[in-house]
Structure 1
Amino acid sequence: MRALTLARVGERAGYSRGIVTHHFGSKQALLERLSRATQAGFVPGLEGLPAGLDRLLRLIDGYVGALGQVGVFNRAFLLLWAEAATASELAPTFRERDDAFRADLRDDVHAGIADGTIRPDLIPAEVAVAVVGQLRGIGLQRLLDPQAVDTEGLRHAVTEHWRRALSTPTRMV
């Protein structure tokens, strides 16, 4: 990202050197727009579902499934997310999005504990960090070596892992 210039982006896109500056104003604004656009709607179909175990498991299944279709946006997201670990201009945007992702997961765990579908001994913040870590890790592995990561097989395995790890004993039956 450090070598990225707005002039170079314009040239690579086949436009004038100044068009990107005209539309975005700064490299930081371009990167923020790109990172937000690549994160939108990664797992469709969750809107309106009540928080809890079922929503959490559907999110996990959908996320791993989406990794199987590493298109331009998914690939851009994963590359930018990995770059954010060392690029100060990207870190705030991705930190904000990861915070929101973990908050949604915490809400699902809290709701599942409240309705009795998730074990009450679990700490929602820890579950959220573990889920995000696993999902992002699978994504990075898929990005590095797509042939080595069977996302369709993993969808079931990962979702079932979390179902067993989170469910109350009566829910697992």
Structure 2
Amino acid sequence: MPADQPPEHAERRTQLQRRTATRTALLAAAAELVVETGVRSATLAAVGERAGYSRGIVTHHFGSKRALFQALAESSQSGFVPGAGAMPPGLGRLLALIDGYIRRMGDGAVAGRAFLLLWVEAATSAELSGVFRERDDGFRADLRGDVAAGIAAGEIRADADPEATAVAVLGQLRGIGMQQLLAPGALDSPRLARAVADQWLRALRP
């Protein structure tokens, strides 16, 4: 420890690291349970037990099952397509998101599968519907921004409709994700990712 760093500062960092590690373990346990036993079986008690903690620690970190699933949805989508967040809005980022999303969903990762299962459950769950409407609204806003920026830069044809394109792209990605969820390994995800990205390139460029 540096000489000018007080011991209590090091202790606070240790507590933060422990809290972060606990939260990460709880989210991983929640994702595993959603995939293995379904959304409704992933209770706070079951999540705590799977992660090696008590139900109380889950409640302490998240407060409710809804908040737990909201955090799981956010963590599943955070950095979902590596590098895309650093790209400027426009056609390049739009194509990177499409390609990366399909590849990521096709890799069979537990977090991605859990997200899709929660998204489906949200259609009939008042507890989850608001959470996933917000997630989809945010995704569509990002896609709209890419289309609008592409039009302004001359990369995308001027008559493209940002709103309609965003809805169509998100619908296609979610639909492909569901097929990957139902038939893991049956789709050639890298090949599909290239084909879909190329489809949108040809549809949008001037």
Question: Scaled by the length of structure 1, what TM-score is found?
Answer: 0.89
| Partner of residue 87, structure 2 | 49
* Residue 82 (1) aligns with residue 117 (2): no
Two-structure CA RMSD over aligned residues (Å): 1.6
| Partner of residue 35, structure 2 | none
| Partner of residue 132, structure 2 | 94
1:45 corresponds to which letter in structure 2?
Answer: G
Gaps of 5+ in 1: 169-173
Alpha-carbon deviations, 1:42-76, whole Å to 9, x = none?
A: 11101232211111111111111112212121111
Distance in 2 (CA, whole Å) between partners of 1:39 and 1:91 is 17
Could you list the structure 1 runs, at least 4 aligned residues long, displaced by more than 6 angstroms after superposition.
none
* Residue 161 (1) aligns with residue 196 (2): no
Of Structure 1 and Structure 2, the greater helix share is in 2
Distance in 2 (CA, whole Å) between partners of 1:75 and 1:10 is 20
> Does the 8 A contact of 2:79 with 2:85 survive in 1?
no
Gaps of 5+ in 2: 1-38
Shift of 1:5: 3.0
* Residue 146 (1) aligns with residue 177 (2): no
Shift of 1:138: 0.5
2:128 corresponds to which letter in structure 1?
Answer: L
The share of aligned pairs that are identical, in percent, is 62
Match of 1:122 among 160, 163, 169: 160
Distance in 1 (CA, whole Å) between partners of 2:60 and 2:90 is 45
Q: Which is greater in Rg?
A: 2
**Larger RCO, structure (CA 8 Å, separation 6 or more):** 1
2:47 corresponds to which letter in structure 1?
Answer: V
Distance in 2 (CA, whole Å) between partners of 1:145 and 1:48 is 32
Shift of 1:19: 2.9
Distance in 1 (CA, whole Å) between partners of 2:108 and 2:42 is 23
